[in-house]
Amino acid sequence: MNSVPSAPLATASTRPRIQHVEMRGIVKRFPGVLANDHVDFDVQAGEIHALLGENGAGKTTLMKILYGMYQPDEGEIRINGRPVRIASPRDAIALGIGMVHQHFMLVETLTVAENVALGLPSSRGLLTDLDVVARRLRELGERYGLVVDPHAYIWQLSVGQQQRVEILKALYRGADVLILDEPTAVLTPQEVEELFAVMRQMAREGHGLVFISHKLHEVLAISDRITVLRDGRKIGTRPARETTKEELARWMVGREVRFHLEKEPARPGPVLLELEDVHAESDRGTPALQGVSLQVRAGEILGLAGVSGNGQRELAQVVAGLRPVTRGRVRLLDQDVTEASPAARMDLGLAYIPEERMKDGLIQEFTVAENLILRDHHKPPFSRKGFLHWPTVYAHSRRLIQAFRIKTPSVKTPARYLSGGNLQKIVLARELAREPKVILAAQPTRGLDIGATEYVRERLLEQRTRGAAVLLISEDLDEILVLSDRIAVIYEGRIMAVMPREEATVERLGLLMAGVEEKEKG
C-alpha cells in the first residue's frame, strides 16, 4: 500500500492529464447495420463538444467505443497524440475517460459513498474506507457544485440527484474526459440548468466533455463545438457560435428518402379517432402531454413525427387506454372512450401495434398460436362458454402464419425462439386480422431489416386503402414521409403543427422536431 489516501489521486498523479482525445476513421459494423462509417471525432481539455444526431445516427455507438464497451472494426484512438487501445471500460477509466449512461448504473439499496467505492480498492486493504470516500466526495461536490449527501441511499434520491452521483463517480475515478449520454432526457428544465452549470464548471476546471443530445437548443446553449452524425456518418463539425438551428436541423435530417412505395391518393372519410386537448403525465409524474389535439380520418395515415421522449409513448398509451388522461377527451368512432378500458376500445375496433413489442405485444413463453389469439382468446370461435377450442385456434394460426409469412417451425413453438421480424409479424397478423377500424402503430418497423420493414409498411398502406384510420407514431422521418397522408409534429408534449404530406419538407419537419416554432401560423 502506498501512502496516497485514495485511489483517484493515485491514478491522477501517475499519468498526465488528458489534453486531447482523438478518434480517427472509426468504423463499427453490426450485422446488417453500419453503425459508424469512418467517423472522426475529437475533444480537448476545457471544452464541451456536443454530438448531435437523430435516434440511430450512431452517437452512442461511437462513444461506447471510446469508453471501451465496443471494439471498432477500423480506426484508431489517440490520447495526447499517442495511439491507445481501449479494450474495456476498465481501460478507459484508467486512461481518464468516464461515461454517464442514459440508464444509471447504481445500486439502489446502497448509499452514495458505497456506490462510488464499489469496485475500487480500499485504502485500508480489507477494511472499508467509506469515511475517506465520503470526505473526498464532499470536496469534489463543493468544487463542482455537485452537492449530494454521501450517506443518502440511492433510492431516496431524485433522478437528477442520481445523475450527479454518476458524474461524481466518474470524477472520483479520475475522469479527465467525461461522456454524458443524453443527460437531459430524464431531467426537468430546472435540473437541466443545474446540470449545465456543473458542466461549465467542469470545463473551467480543465475537463473535456462530450455531450450527446438530439435537442438543438440545448446543444447550442451549452456547447463550444458541435459535431453532427447522420446514418453513422459524420456530416460536419462547427463551433457553436458559427452555426444556426437551421443549419444543424438540415444536417441532422437532410437526406434522400430511401423507400418508395406505390400509393394511391387518400380518400379520407369521417373522423374515427379524435384527441381533444389531452393532458397526461409520464411515469415520473411530470407532464408528458400538454394539450394534444389530433384527428385521424378513415382511409388516411396521420404520421406523428418527433424526436423520442417528447410524449409519443404516453400518447400511444393514452389512445390504447393504458394511461389515464389528466385532462381532455379521447373519442373513438364518435364514442367518448376517455374512461374506457383497453378491452372496450379493442372491441370498438382499435388495433394497437405497441412500441415495445417484446414487452407489451407478446408473451415470449407462449406459443405462436397462443400469442396470435392474445386479443380474442375469450371470444368465439376460439372459445365457447369459457373453454378454448384448440383445433380452431391452430387452424386460424396456420392461416395467419401463411398469410403474413411468419417463419416458425410450428404453431406450438414458443414465441421467444423466433426472430424480431417474425415476432413483429405475429403482432401485425393478430392486430390486422381483426379488420380494425382504427390502427395505432408505434414504431412499427424499429429494429427490423429492410425486407421486414417494407412488408410492414405495405400492410399498413393496405389497411389505409381498406378504409382504416391509421395513426403512425415514428421517429424515423423516412417512414413518416413515405407513409403519411398528413403529418403532425410533436415536441415536449405539444403538437407543433399538422400539415398535408405535400407541404412537408425534411427541413421544415426537422426544425419543428427540434422545437423551433414557425413564424407565420396557418
Q: Compare residues 196 and 366 and give the one whose CB is closer to other proteins.
A: 366
Q: Return the residue matching grid coordinates 365457447.
A: 384
283 is a contact residue toward other proteins (CB under 8 A): no
162 is a contact residue toward other proteins (CB under 8 A): no
Gap between the Cα atoms of 522 and 518, Å rounded: 9
446 is a contact residue toward other proteins (CB under 8 A): yes
- Give 114's contacts (C-beta < 8 A, 6+ positions apart): 107, 130
Q: How far is the CB of 183 from other proteins (least distance, A)?
A: 13
Amino acid code (one letter) for 313: R
Q: Compare residues 200 and 398 and give the one whose CB is closer to other proteins.
A: 398
Q: Is 361 helix (H, G, I), strand (E, B) or coil?
A: helix
Q: How far is the CB of 488 from other proteins (least distance, A)?
A: 24
Cβ proximity of 510 and 252 under 8 Å: yes
Q: How far is the CB of 168 from other proteins (least distance, A)?
A: 24
Please, what is the angle between helix 189-204 and helix 159-172, to 10°?
10
Q: How far is the CB of 177 from other proteins (least distance, A)?
A: 19
Q: How far is the CB of 255 from other proteins (least distance, A)?
A: 16
- Give 82's contacts (C-beta < 8 A, 6+ positions apart): none
Q: Compare residues 58 and 268 and give the one whose CB is closer to other proteins.
A: 58
Q: Interface residues for other proteins in 16-75 (CB under 8 A)?
A: 28, 30-33, 35, 53, 55-61, 70
Choices 19-27, 247-255, 258-266, 413-421 (CB under 8 A): range interacting with other proteins? 413-421
Q: How far is the CB of 55 from other proteins (least distance, A)?
A: 6
Gap between the Cα atoms of 338 and 229, Å rounded: 41
Choices 85-93, 132-140, 340-348, 513-521 (CB under 8 A): range interacting with other proteins? 340-348
Q: How far is the CB of 215 from other proteins (least distance, A)?
A: 13
Gap between the Cα atoms of 74 and 72, Å rounded: 5
257 is a contact residue toward other proteins (CB under 8 A): no
Cβ proximity of 33 and 97 under 8 Å: no
Q: How far is the CB of 28 from other proteins (least distance, A)?
A: 8
Q: How far is the CB of 131 from other proteins (least distance, A)?
A: 35
Percentage helix, strand, coil for the chain under 3-state DSSP, each rounded to 5: 35, 25, 40
Q: What is the 3-state secondary structure (H, E, C) of 366-420?
A: CEHHHHHCCCCCCCCCCEECCEECHHHHHHHHHHHHHHCCCCCCCCCCEHHHCCH
Q: Compare residues 70 and 144 and give the one whose CB is closer to other proteins.
A: 70
Q: How far is the CB of 414 from other proteins (least distance, A)?
A: 7
- Kindly write down the DSSP assignment for every residue of 33-69, as one continuous string: EEEEEEEEEEEETT-EEEEE--TTSSHHHHHHHHTTS
Q: Compare residues 159 and 363 and give the one whose CB is closer to other proteins.
A: 363
Q: How far is the CB of 447 from other proteins (least distance, A)?
A: 4
Q: How far is the CB of 57 from other proteins (least distance, A)?
A: 7
Q: Interface residues for other proteins in 341-400 (CB under 8 A)?
A: 341-343, 346, 352, 354, 359-366, 370, 374-375, 377-378, 383, 386-388, 390
Q: Compare residues 354 and 493 and give the one whose CB is closer to other proteins.
A: 354
Q: Interface residues for other proteins in 450-509 (CB under 8 A)?
A: 452
Q: Which of 212, 249, 280, 480 binds other proteins (CB under 8 A)?
A: 212
Q: What is the CA radius of gyration of the chain?
A: 26
> Quick one: residue 477, left, alpha or beta (phi over 0 = left, psi -120 to 50 = alpha)?
alpha
Question: The sheet that has 438-442: what strands, in order across it?
Answer: 350-353, 438-442, 469-474, 301-305, 486-491, 494-500
Gap between the Cα atoms of 239 and 235, Å rounded: 14
Q: Compare residues 259 and 366 and give the one whose CB is closer to other proteins.
A: 366
Q: Is 260 helix (H, G, I), strand (E, B) or coil?
A: coil
Q: Compare residues 420 and 467 and give the one whose CB is closer to other proteins.
A: 420
Q: Compare residues 280 and 487 and give the one whose CB is closer to other proteins.
A: 280
Gap between the Cα atoms of 149 and 161, Å rounded: 10
Q: Which of 78, 420, 467, 499 binds other proteins (CB under 8 A)?
A: 420
Q: Which of 151, 204, 412, 466 binds other proteins (CB under 8 A)?
A: 412
Count of residues interacting with other proteins (CB under 8 A): 62
Q: Compare residues 266 and 362 and give the one whose CB is closer to other proteins.
A: 362
Q: How far is CA 231 from CA 250, 292, 379, 473, in A?
A: 14, 31, 45, 20
Q: Is 230 helix (H, G, I), strand (E, B) or coil?
A: strand
Q: Which residue ranges make up the site for other proteins (CB under 8 A)?
A: 28, 30-33, 35, 53, 55-61, 70, 181-182, 212, 320, 322, 341-343, 346, 352, 354, 359-366, 370, 374-375, 377-378, 383, 386-388, 390, 407-410, 412-414, 417-422, 446-449, 452
